Amino acid sequence: MKKLLPKNQVKLGNPDHFNAANDHNPLVLPDCPVCKGYGKQDVSSGGGSVWSLMECAECNGKGFVVGGTPEPYFTKGNTAKEVRRNSAGWIKCTFCGKAFKDYDRNVFTGLRHKCGQKLIIIEN
Ligand SMILES: [Zn+2]
Ligand SMILES: [Zn+2]
């Protein structure tokens, strides 16, 4: 059993995180609900006229809740859809409609688009 990673430390492009063994959908510790995984918060002082970026008090800047209930990284898109590249090499996600290049591992794990949709690329 691998160590559970916080969602904000999981990278789409890392095959240790997204691979066939976990269906490209690892269990992760959920993001901190206050800072959404960012680890920082805008805090106002002086009646809202001054804002400063402070370490999130909810999670102490970690961006996740220690002891949080593990959840799948993706919650949707589990039914694979077939897609084709267009003539310029772009693939359009069937779920979110965004176009991307499948070699871009910041947006595509090799199976799932960053929205979670599983895409089977049909080579022409
Ligand atoms: Zn936080
Ligand atoms: Zn998508």
Distance from residue 69's CA to the centre of ligand 2 (Å): 25
**Cβ proximity of 94 and 117 under 8 Å:** yes
Q: What is the largest CA-CA distance in the chain?
A: 62
At 65, the amino acid letter reads V
Q: Tokens 């609900």 correspond to what residue?
A: 33
Ligand found nearest the CA of 62: 1
Q: How far is the CA of 111 from the centre of ligand 2 (A)?
A: 11
pLDDT digits (tens, 9 = 90+) for 49-100: 788 899 999 999 999 988 889 999 999 999 999 999 999 999 999 999 999 9
Ligand nearest to C-alpha 60? 1
Q: What gap in Å lies between CA 90 and CA 88, rounded to an integer? A: 6
pLDDT at 117: 98
Question: Can you give the pTM of this predicted structure?
Answer: 0.84
* Residue 119 CA, ligand 2 centroid: distance in Å: 9
* Whether pLDDT at 1 is above 80: no
Cα(110)–Cα(20) distance, integer angstroms:
10
65 contact partners, CB below 8 Å, separation of at least 6? 29, 30, 32, 33, 58, 59
55 burial type by CB count under 10 A (0-12 exposed, 13-18 middle, 19+ buried)? middle
Single out the residue of 24, 41, 43, 34 nearest to residue 64, CA to CA: 34
d(CA 74, ligand 1 centre) in Å:
20
Q: Residue 29's pLDDT is what?
A: 95
Q: What is the pLDDT of residues 17-49, one digit of tens each?
A: 999 999 999 999 999 999 999 999 988 877 777
- Rounded distance from Cα 88 to ligand 1 centre (Å): 41
How far away, in angstroms, is 53 Cα from ligand 2 center?
31
- Cα of 94 vs centre of ligand 2, distance in Å, is 7
Alpha carbon 24 to chain centroid distance?
Answer: 11
DSSP code at position 8: G
